[in-house]
Structure 1
Amino acid sequence: MRQNRSADPWSTFLAPTDREGAARSQAARESGMPPSFLPHPAGPDPADACRKVLDQLASAHGPQTFDQIRYGTGLGLLEIAEAVELLRDRGLVSVESGTEEAVRLTAGGSAG
């Protein structure tokens, strides 16, 4: 029996061992992105991340940077970025550029 050995010891360690991991690897090959860049099937619910971001912005009463949102919600930066993108597409938030990007509730996203 031939063993598959790689010069990179991490490739064996990080290789998927289940059906979901294999599906992620296949999706990564098709998209050209590393598997770690793709969302994990058992990852957090995007609706929950959106709710947390909206709650944080409403309680802050003003724009917040991604780091401030991360600190206030406990979410990761990728989760926040995905939530902000979804909320922006729905017209609930806007992203302001400056020295740091800040997220602001729009009139449609204000709590009331």
Structure 2
Amino acid sequence: MNKKLIIGMILGAILGIFCILGARLRLPDHASFSYLLSFWYNRVILGVIIGLLPSLKSLKLSLLRGLLVGVFVSFAFYSATGFLDLMGFFAGFVYGVIIEFVLFKLNQMEKL
């Protein structure tokens, strides 16, 4: 595995922990173990997909791509849960942008 993929996966896993914490606060009655694990795994998948994509030279295009991948990946989980957690869906947009941004900056610094 290349560095970009590993870092993307780690970022997704870390951001997934924040999703779990947020879901527990927002949806205490619906936050079963399987729901939270699926939420976390969705963020890991987000990081893996972004990590697999080729690096771009433009920050704006990278951030736009992060947003679009975030929408695409988060919609899979959002639709599978009966469209219950809109905040979690929108968080996926932001997390896609965050992962893209970090990977873009790391790529500039050390050529991932």
Could you state the TM-score of these two structures normalised by the residue count of structure 1? 0.34
Query: Which one has a larger percent strand, Structure 1 or Structure 2?
Result: 1
Query: Which one has a larger percent helix, Structure 1 or Structure 2?
Result: 2
Higher radius of gyration, 1 or 2: 1
Could you state the TM-score of these two structures normalised by the residue count of structure 2? 0.34
Kindly indicate whether structure 1 or structure 2 has the higher relative contact order, using CA contacts under 8 Å at least 6 residues apart.
2
